[in-house]
Structure 1
Amino acid sequence: MDGFVAVTLLRHGLTEKNSRNAYIGWTDDPLSKEGEEQLRGMQIHRPDLVVTSGMTRANQTADILFPEINPTRIQQIKELNFGKWEGLTYEDLKEDPAYREWVENADRIAPPGGETFTQFKARIMEGWGIIHREMTNKTIGSALVVSHGGPIRQLLTELGDYSRSFWEWPVHPGTGYKLTWTFESFRRGERCISLQEVPAMAKQNG
């Protein structure tokens, strides 16, 4: 089949804890007033499908951008579960030996009550599989996926440019990337053929 498929991976808007660089994975924080205002200045083409992680901040982002579209909620694309470290910052944790060990070995060590990076990455790709099947089976040409920094980095690492590793993808609140495939390359599960940053908002707060 001829044609192209486009998927925009967008990080939710700014929250209060984002503003102070706290870990928020499964903490269900809402957008801050600043985050809401930033999103109102964004221009994104209307997609055929909107997907969110089901978290309040992601749902609010989708609703501000496309209030007329009822999003599909896929919990597998939630952020990493930081367990007991949710809401804390690097400054709060830097003297904790368990935290320092996690930083060095996050693929196999989980935060207390959280999940490892290996578990997280597998979950994200499971979520992408759900999205991919939905789009392929229904011949959906465009989608907006509103998720979080970690999941978007994981998807970009697997679907985007080979030359960038996980942490080399900048993903600020309210920004993201548009990935494009031919329909056939998308169906086959190949990497995207082009990738571009979603235009930043007029008043961007890193």
Structure 2
Amino acid sequence: MPNNTTHIGLLQHGEVEAGGVFCGELETQLSTSGWKQLKQAFGSQKPAWDAVITSPKAQCTAFAQWYAAKHKLPLITDERLREIHLGVWEGCQPSQLMQTQPEQLAQWWVNPALAAPEGGEDFSVFRERVLQAWSDLCLEWRDQRVLVVTHAGVIRLVVAHVLHIPNERLLSLNVEYGTLTRLRVLHDRSGEWASLLTHGC
């Protein structure tokens, strides 16, 4: 008999070779340290998941493919789980932008929904695609446990949605490399009820 509960783990990819630059659309490989972070955290554990779903970016797919193959789990790539595209900021250090675009960067930190960088993805478009992916996850993987390998912005957006955190507080949610956020979705006749179990563990 189904238990009407879905468990979803949102895993932030490990440290990347590009370093501490803005990596929205930028594709970069996991660094040696990034691989070590993820394998130490997950490599030896008996899997608690029924499937792995990943962003299409290399920093996510590399570990997702390795983990799914190691534990013989289904692997699905979902384009909607990409990070937000940051336009001309891609590949730039925050310290660099503090010198060249201090006001716009400050506005973005205060509320990323109102200050997209030039050439970047509109926040409303980003939000719509991520939350549609989240809604589909809850529906399609009902009563199962799914590990989602994705990016900090995606994780922030889902957590903010579940906890009703406003956009201006979005960047106050810290998401470290290689950490897991776990959510539970209860299903009953009145609808779906999501709750945060752990964040950044």
Residues 118 and 71 of structure 1: CA distance in aligned 2, closer, same or farther (over 3 Å): same
What 5-or-longer segments of structure 2 have no aligned partner?
A: none
**Identical positions, percent:** 23
Distance 2:164 2:123 in 1: 21
Structure 1 window deviating more from structure 2 (145-154 vs 115-124): it is 115-124
**RMSD over aligned Cα atoms:** 2.6
From 178, 183, 195, the counterpart of 2:197: 195
Q: Aligned runs of 1:17-96 on 2, under 5 Å?
A: 17=18, 19=19, 21-43=20-42, 45-67=47-69, 68-96=72-100
Distance 1:51 1:177 in 2: 14
Deviation (angstroms), 1:143: 0.4
- For the residue of structure 2 that corresponds to 1:66, the secondary structure is helix
Note if 1:149 corresponds to 2:148.
Answer: no
Equivalent in the alignment of 2:123: 117
Q: Encode CA deviations 1:24-65: one digit per residue, 9 max, x unaligned.
A: 011111101111122111135331121111111111121233
Distance 2:138 2:103 in 1: 36
Q: Does the aligned pair in 2 maintain the 1:176–1:198 contact within 8 Å?
A: yes
Q: Does the aligned pair in 2 maintain the 1:25–1:86 contact within 8 Å?
A: yes
Equivalent in the alignment of 2:177: 173
Structure 1 window deviating more from structure 2 (162-171 vs 124-133): it is 162-171
Residues 103 and 36 of structure 1: CA distance in aligned 2, closer, same or farther (over 3 Å): same
Q: Does the aligned pair in 2 maintain the 1:160–1:195 contact within 8 Å?
A: no
- For the residue of structure 1 that corresponds to 2:6, the secondary structure is strand
Note if 1:16 corresponds to 2:17.
Answer: yes
Distance 2:191 2:62 in 1: 33
Distance 2:98 2:166 in 1: 30
Deviation (angstroms), 1:118: 2.6
- For the residue of structure 1 that corresponds to 2:141, the secondary structure is helix
Note if 1:132 corresponds to 2:135.
Answer: no
Deviation (angstroms), 1:101: 2.4
Distance 1:100 1:120 in 2: 23
Deviation (angstroms), 1:75: 1.0
Distance 1:141 1:184 in 2: 15
Structure 1 window deviating more from structure 2 (46-55 vs 113-122): it is 113-122
Distance 1:161 1:113 in 2: 28
Number of residue pairs aligned between Structure 1 and Structure 2: 191
What 5-or-longer segments of structure 1 have no aligned partner?
A: 200-206
Deviation (angstroms), 1:4: 2.6
Residues 161 and 61 of structure 1: CA distance in aligned 2, closer, same or farther (over 3 Å): farther
Distance 1:48 1:160 in 2: 25
